[in-house]
Amino acid sequence: MNNSLPVQHYVPEQTIQSYLDALLQDAAMELALAEQAPPSQPVPVAEPVAPEPVVAVIPEPEVTQPLPIEQPEPVAPPAAAAVPAWREAPFEALLFDVGGLTLAVPLISLGSIHSLDGPITPLFGQPDWFLGLLPTQAGNLKVLDTARWIMPERYTPELRDSLRFVISVQGHEWGMAVHGVSQSIRLDPAQVKWRSGQGKRPWLAGTVIDQMCALVDVEALAELITTGKQAGARLG
């Protein structure tokens, strides 16, 4: 990897700002729609119509044994979507740079940070978002081209040349290739504009207005990688 090529040469600052603005706008719109959804309208009930009297011959009742009444089995209510525990209290997050865009990831989801001093071993027949294998003390780490997933519509091949670090992810055998690592910060859940539901960016957990960055949902990103679906297909 050639670490001498600054990212700013390939991604103009105004382009990054417009993309981050789009993330913030999407999250705000999703939250507004969820909060402003009109209550369900009551269904009018038609007035009952009195039936005409019918004269019928009532036969003598037959004495029969009463049939047992089967009680319906209780139906369990649908389980609510599990909310990660780290969202319920202040948490530490790591800020890093991908193609000029600042991202935040909860530290509880991350493993180690590896410097890209040496080459990444490529493997043939792999998707274009798979850069190859990085030898580490814990074994070979599969390297993800994070920019292709996070900002595929603004991706350029030159971004590969300026990658500097790989951040491993807890519980997975892959890591995210990034252009820079900034600092760790402490976030309160109230500082995050959380996504209200599924959208066109499944990896986005929310946005942090104070830091002007996007908070990554690592498990959602892991699910995309596992199923082999590139995020760009969901951004169309």
Q: What is the pLDDT of residues 112-165, one digit of tens each?
A: 999 988 788 988 888 888 999 999 888 899 999 999 888 888 888 889 889 999
Which tokens is 76 given?
């369990």
% the chain with pLDDT above 90: 32
- Range list of β-strands (E), the chain: 91-98, 101-106, 110-115, 130-136, 139-145, 165-169, 174-178, 180-187, 192-194, 204-208, 213-216
> Which amino acid type is present at position 159?
L
Average pLDDT over residues 6-16: 47
**What's residue 48's pLDDT?**
56
- Say if residue 23's pLDDT is above 90: no
pLDDT at 192 over 70: yes
Average pLDDT, the chain: 75
